[in-house]
Amino acid sequence: MSEPWAAQTQEQRYDELLQQTGAALIGAAPQSWRRIDLIAKIAEGVQDFGLTVIMSDFSHAEVDPPAGAAQALVELRRLMYRPERGAWLSARYVLNPPGEFRIFYNYEHDPLWEPPIPAAVFQRDLATFPRPAEKVPGWLRRLVEQAGGSPS
């Protein structure tokens, strides 16, 4: 029996967004890169992307995170949201030549924004991407409660 159409469409879009992210990163990196490492911190209305490009001689190239990768990851976060789990808080996309990649999603740990973002951003994020009370990490619960909000 095949998957429902919606699940197949979501899975296809998921794959497209990962490929779009990788293509944007490869397109932005200089020749002879050895590893591309993008860390995305995303909350409702706020994004921070840190990009490290390691060259074949182990030096680091100064490269700005490409807009195409950022847009794809913002959409990916929305696509991956599940009410029973919430939305991921940060993701790490690691790319090795010629195009092998791995992506890791953080649903629980503080992404350590620098500078820290206001608690109101997290409140807004939890309102947009609610999760069950038991799935709200303690650090996030404390932050939202200190700001006078409810984490669930």
> In tens digits, what is the pLDDT along the chain, a chain of 152 residues?
445 557 779 999 999 999 999 999 999 999 999 999 999 999 999 999 999 999 999 999 999 999 999 999 999 999 999 999 999 999 999 999 998 999 999 999 999 999 999 999 999 999 999 999 999 999 999 998 887 766 65
Range of the domain at 25: 5-112
What is the distance, to the nearest Å, from the Cα of residue 76 to the centroid of all Cα atoms in its chain? Answer: 8
Conformation bin of residue 62: beta by default, left when phi > 0, alpha when psi is -120 to 50? beta
CA-to-CA distance for 3 and 15, rounded, in angstroms? 16
pLDDT of residue 150: 62
Whether 127 maps to a domain, the answer reads no
pLDDT of residue 4: 54
For tokens 């890791």, the residue is 104
Whether 49 maps to a domain, the answer reads yes
* Number of domains making up the chain: 1
Whether 136 maps to a domain, the answer reads no
In this structure, what CATH number is given to the domain that contains residue 44? 3.30.500.20
Whether 141 maps to a domain, the answer reads no
Report the half-sphere exposure of 29 (CA within 13 A, side-chain side).
Answer: 27
- What are 102's strand-pairing partners? 94
pLDDT of residue 8: 76
Whether 35 maps to a domain, the answer reads yes
Whether 51 maps to a domain, the answer reads yes
> 3-state DSSP call for residue 88?
coil
pLDDT of residue 146: 83
pTM for this structure? 0.89
User: What angle is formed at CA 7 by the lines to CA 4 and CA 9, rounded to 5 degrees?
Assistant: 105
Whether 48 maps to a domain, the answer reads yes
Whether 119 maps to a domain, the answer reads no
